[in-house]
Structure 1
Amino acid sequence: MGAERGKGRWESGAVAHAATDPFGQGPLPWLRASETYFDDTGRVVPWYVEHAPAPGAELRMPRPRREEGSPRSSDDVHQQIKGFTSTGAVAPGESIDFHVTVNPPQSYSMDFYRIGHYAGAGASKIASTPRLQGLTQPEPLLADRTVSCHHWWRTWRQLIPSYWKPGAYVAVLTTYDGHRSHIPFTVRDSEPADLLLLLPDVTWQAYNLYPEDGRTGASLYHAWDDKGGLLGEEDAAITVSFDRPFAGAGLPLHVGHAYDFIRWAERYGYDLAYADARDLHAGRVDPTRYRGLVFPGHDEYWSVPMRRTTERAKEAGTSLVFLSANTMYWQVELSASPSGVPDRLLTCRKRRGPGRATLWREVDRPEQELMGIQYAGRVPAPAPLVVRHAEHWLWEATGAHEGDELPGLVAGEADRYFPRTQLPPYEDRMLLAHSPYEDQGAVRHQETSLYRAPSGALVFASGTFAWSPALDRPGHVDTRIQRATANLLDRICKRD
């Protein structure tokens, strides 16, 4: 961002939660390499490793001189290079269109990486474009608080060859003068697999504050006042567009949760198919084809079709695995862009204006009726996850004992069981963690839930943001969580 205006991207994300979230902050938690760059506070940090500032650290520093040849992150003020795709997930054999702006106009390259374990690297370069000539696209369009770049020219069309494996991908854009940005996209599966991983692109867009320029950007949480200050939800957008880049370096807030799970699962050979939340919404995937659906990261915004399809999958015997907290909290609508492309606008009125309530629990469809627990609140500082029912098969061979405290495993946000809220039908049910934490002087509790539906489907909800990072995030790995997750997935996949 520009030096004096507004807040850094990770800071605005923390403000969105009104809490310190050690798992949603930092630059780019995906490819682990030794290369360094200058982030938007002017610090030299590893280019692809998550780096959250220490509590109380200075947020804005003078930008040091860049080392020769090292890249710098593009920002939303100067728009050195930014871009987005005009479609959601694509299948092998299809094409995906990229819309890129470069300022000043100059050549740039696009390198395509696939997220995975790859001997610990975290991703592998799959392909590169030839050198492309960049152009400066028109200013984003603004209607009320909705920012859209649907009028940008297409600058590159990428055919997805049949030999590209389905998965989570990142296009890395680098200008001739050394600025860099990113565009995430998904290559969707058409082949059978044990588990279908659903990337939370709807929630990612809800948090997208692009352009984070102190003037025009808006998310479902924030907008800017006329002095470049960050406004809250009451002044934020009601509708946001997928036709725009992600703020900052171009990757969504909380994207690392999904990437942590992917690296771990592919390391241990789980048979994964891939899709986006909008694929679930639009019916482009049939969840009943899979033994389990995995929701690997923060997945807060759900449409009616998303929930209906997931419930039908459970009733058909497909297990559900929710590896974060605050899932399915807001009910949203998806609609077409001004040019008629389906599912390019995301609307959530929250508690403003006429119309029905948009919290699922306020329309008599609480999250707990599907997941077994539901959102309880923010966690101001990480707290231990306290093991319950250590004799249960989920904790088998983990080394965890009754009452053990797993440090830092309750963080960001937490779910719990609400006794006065309807539970789903179940054959057996267990709360496998009951963890106290403090919030504004009060003691609250996080809980982890597992139940078996009458169809035989297992439904697991971790109830904390920290579960996926514990699988493969440097500095956060917990071998007990790794083994518990393997116990769960092995049972779902019916591994010996």
Structure 2
Amino acid sequence: MGQEPIRRWESGALAHAVSDPFGQGPLPWLRGSEHYFDDTGQVVPWYVEHASPPGADIPAARTGGPLNADDVRRQIKGFTSTGAAAPGEAIDFHVTVDPPQQFSVDIYRIGHYGGDGASKITTSPRLSGIVQPAPLTADRTVSCHHWWLSWRLQIPSYWNVGAYVAVLTTADGYRSHVPFTVRDDHPADLLLLLPDVTWQAYNLYPEDGRTGASLYHAWDEQGRLLGEGEAAVTVSFDRPFAGAGLPLHVGHAYDFIRWAERYGYDLAYADARDLHAGRIDPGRYRGLVFPGHDEYWSPAMRRTAELARDGGTSLVFLSANTMYWQVELAPSPSGVPDRLLTCRKRRGPGRPALWRERDGDKTAEQQLIGIQYAGRVPEPHPLVVRNADHWLWEATGAHEGDELDGLVAGEADRYFPRTPLPEHQGRILLAHSPYTDTEGAKRHQETSLYRAPSGALVFASGTFAWSPALDRPGHVDTRVQRATANLLDRICKRD
């Protein structure tokens, strides 16, 4: 009897509420004819998919290599019950394996590594896999906090800080992924902040047509996908990521990391929850870099970013739709801090969850970032250079009015004239790019830079396409690479 075909929404690439034309990006341990569905339904490379019935819109799986686990059969799925950890500390993995069998864990560190994109750091011993209990659900909150500990990774003192991925593989060849971060408190030129809070907001695990829920979607009893009005209000970090186990927007951060490490920037690493929990002293860094889609912010995250700027630490926002929703973080049922993420959005009593609606102009994103979210960009449009004589565009070859093809994509920010700007000693718009929105209306995107009274620079790209242009195959733009280097060199005092 053949396997039941995998339906589209079981692939781990459901059509999420926000379009990201870049998906998860190239993963160096995936080679060959792997495919991945982006959230517009298009097939893009670097993703393993299961075999499909004739005529289906899902490509057949390749043969002779691992297959990605899914959320229906849960061949192998896992998560870490610890946040970012330092060398000398431990990361705890909780893994379910069905049917029960041995599995192993390959640990990769994301970086340039001569173009490979990552390097295998270590491999676990063979581990005994068990079928963990079904996820617990309450008011659409899905949690696996009751899963048994499967493996504890003691991080050696000599490991480099960075973004890591654990690749879990069963004896019979199914694979899943678990991202984690290794950080420390040593000073560095730049602190890279991985947007784990936003990653979890989009996590629909288990993407099984019954149980899973994110802050965007859930299912009814007939397996129909429900929208934001029926989605979860609270989601848990104590669960795997849907599908192949990597967050929907993870590629933005990995693109920046590969590029920045290739050119030797002095990087430290942390998660957004570290920013929330007060574990970050901005004074240790010349700049904080937010490399990817970073939509969900707690008040504590914002306070720390504002204190950083006001203390002379620059801020670099390389995506769009940053700091759009205000969220709360709370302990898990067992008391572990910052394991539950709540955002009521427009539902229920209390104040609205949009930052720009919390306290009028005083809390609008533009007050920190310099521009703010304007809307989705259904089809890529050119980024149109403005103020080409500014030092950001120096040596890029860009001229006034030049169009950087495809560089306004996914989502876009712009300057809102009726919303006050932050206090500044100079502010400039470096791109002004027309595009057509989902309703067919004419809109525009803008790229912003201002200098705070402290001397800190605050840059906002205003588009999803900036980080992929640094090092994503098929998306690299040398002008964006040079402009980003101009910015970071100035922040790091290389000029």
Cα deviation, residue 7, structure 1: 2.1
Call closer, same or farther: CA 1:352–1:465 in 2, change over 3 Å. Answer: same
Match of 2:28 in 1: 31
Match of 1:452 in 2: 451
- Look up the SS of the partner of 1:196 in the other structure: strand
Contact 2:321–2:373, Cα closer than 8 Å, also in 1: yes
Letter in 2 for 1:412: G
- The correspondence for 1:254, drawn from 249, 253, 256, is 249
Deviations 1:396-451 (A, max 9, x none): 00000000000000000000000000110000000000000001221100000000
Q: Which runs of structure 2 are paired with 1:331-480 in the superposition (5 Å)?
A: 331-364=326-359, 365-439=363-437, 440-480=439-479
Letter in 2 for 1:236: A
Alpha-carbon distance in structure 2 between the residues aligned to 1:447 and 1:303: 25
Call closer, same or farther: CA 1:15–1:243 in 2, change over 3 Å. Answer: closer
Match of 1:481 in 2: 480
Cα deviation, residue 29, structure 1: 2.7
Contact 1:30–1:115, Cα closer than 8 Å, also in 2: no
Cα deviation, residue 38, structure 1: 6.6
Match of 2:5 in 1: 3
Letter in 1 for 2:351: R
Contact 1:449–1:463, Cα closer than 8 Å, also in 2: yes
- Look up the SS of the partner of 1:137 in the other structure: coil
Deviations 1:297-328 (A, max 9, x none): 00000000000011001000000000000000
Cα deviation, residue 126, structure 1: 0.4
Cα deviation, residue 2, structure 1: 6.9
Alpha-carbon distance in structure 2 between the residues aligned to 1:63 and 1:33: 16
Cα deviation, residue 84, structure 1: 0.2
- Look up the SS of the partner of 1:495 in the other structure: coil
Call closer, same or farther: CA 1:62–1:259 in 2, change over 3 Å. Answer: closer
- Look up the SS of the partner of 2:326 in the other structure: strand
- The correspondence for 1:302, drawn from 297, 303, 311, is 297
Deviations 1:311-353 (A, max 9, x none): 0010000000000000000000000000000000000000000
Contact 1:436–1:443, Cα closer than 8 Å, also in 2: yes
Call closer, same or farther: CA 1:225–1:173 in 2, change over 3 Å. Answer: same
Alpha-carbon distance in structure 2 between the residues aligned to 1:5 and 1:45: 17
Match of 1:16 in 2: 17
Alpha-carbon distance in structure 2 between the residues aligned to 1:151 and 1:167: 28
- Stretches of structure 2 that go unaligned for 5 or more consecutive residues are 50-54
Match of 2:63 in 1: 67
Alpha-carbon distance in structure 2 between the residues aligned to 1:386 and 1:483: 16
Call closer, same or farther: CA 1:378–1:149 in 2, change over 3 Å. Answer: same
> What percentage of residue pairs aligned between the two structures are identical?
77
- The correspondence for 1:139, drawn from 115, 134, 139, is 134
Match of 1:54 in 2: none
Contact 2:256–2:291, Cα closer than 8 Å, also in 1: yes
Call closer, same or farther: CA 1:288–1:343 in 2, change over 3 Å. Answer: same
Alpha-carbon distance in structure 2 between the residues aligned to 1:180 and 1:342: 29
Cα deviation, residue 229, structure 1: 1.8
Contact 2:10–2:72, Cα closer than 8 Å, also in 1: no
Match of 1:101 in 2: 96
Alpha-carbon distance in structure 1 between the residues aligned to 2:12 and 2:478: 28
Q: Given the two structures, how large is their TM-score scaled by the length of structure 2?
A: 0.94
Contact 1:291–1:492, Cα closer than 8 Å, also in 2: yes
Alpha-carbon distance in structure 2 between the residues aligned to 1:257 and 1:15: 16
- The correspondence for 1:206, drawn from 201, 206, 228, is 201
Alpha-carbon distance in structure 2 between the residues aligned to 1:5 and 1:486: 43
Deviations 1:223-264 (A, max 9, x none): 012222211000000000000000000000010000000000
Call closer, same or farther: CA 1:429–1:32 in 2, change over 3 Å. Answer: farther
Alpha-carbon distance in structure 2 between the residues aligned to 1:104 and 1:459: 51
Cα deviation, residue 3, structure 1: 3.4
Residues matched between the structures, number: 481
Letter in 1 for 2:469: A
Q: Which runs of at least 4 in structure 1 moved beyond 6 Å after TM superposition? A: none
- Look up the SS of the partner of 2:259 in the other structure: helix
Call closer, same or farther: CA 1:103–1:267 in 2, change over 3 Å. Answer: same
Letter in 2 for 1:402: E
- The correspondence for 1:166, drawn from 141, 161, 165, is 161
Alpha-carbon distance in structure 2 between the residues aligned to 1:33 and 1:230: 30
Moved more, 31-40 or 254-263: 31-40
Alpha-carbon distance in structure 2 between the residues aligned to 1:388 and 1:40: 35
Contact 2:72–2:206, Cα closer than 8 Å, also in 1: yes
Alpha-carbon distance in structure 2 between the residues aligned to 1:290 and 1:225: 47
Cα deviation, residue 275, structure 1: 0.2
Cα deviation, residue 30, structure 1: 2.7
Alpha-carbon distance in structure 1 between the residues aligned to 2:443 and 2:326: 25
Alpha-carbon distance in structure 1 between the residues aligned to 2:149 and 2:346: 37
Alpha-carbon distance in structure 1 between the residues aligned to 2:242 and 2:208: 9
Alpha-carbon distance in structure 2 between the residues aligned to 1:418 and 1:9: 38
- Look up the SS of the partner of 1:491 in the other structure: helix
Call closer, same or farther: CA 1:2–1:47 in 2, change over 3 Å. Answer: farther
Match of 1:92 in 2: 87
Contact 1:34–1:46, Cα closer than 8 Å, also in 2: no
Letter in 2 for 1:463: G
Contact 2:13–2:248, Cα closer than 8 Å, also in 1: no
Q: Which runs of structure 2 are paired with 1:145-156 in the superposition (5 Å)?
A: 145-156=140-151
- Look up the SS of the partner of 1:313 in the other structure: helix
Call closer, same or farther: CA 1:348–1:47 in 2, change over 3 Å. Answer: same
Letter in 1 for 2:400: E
Call closer, same or farther: CA 1:152–1:31 in 2, change over 3 Å. Answer: same
Cα deviation, residue 37, structure 1: 4.3
Contact 2:436–2:443, Cα closer than 8 Å, also in 1: yes
Deviations 1:143-177 (A, max 9, x none): 01000000000000000001110000000000010
Alpha-carbon distance in structure 2 between the residues aligned to 1:358 and 1:272: 32
- Look up the SS of the partner of 2:188 in the other structure: coil
Contact 1:37–1:72, Cα closer than 8 Å, also in 2: no
Letter in 2 for 1:249: A
Deviations 1:435-484 (A, max 9, x none): 00001221100000000000000000000000000000000000000000
Cα deviation, residue 284, structure 1: 1.1
Contact 1:37–1:71, Cα closer than 8 Å, also in 2: no
Contact 1:297–1:323, Cα closer than 8 Å, also in 2: yes
Alpha-carbon distance in structure 1 between the residues aligned to 2:170 and 2:302: 41
- The correspondence for 2:224, drawn from 215, 219, 229, is 229
Contact 1:382–1:412, Cα closer than 8 Å, also in 2: yes
- Look up the SS of the partner of 1:194 in the other structure: strand
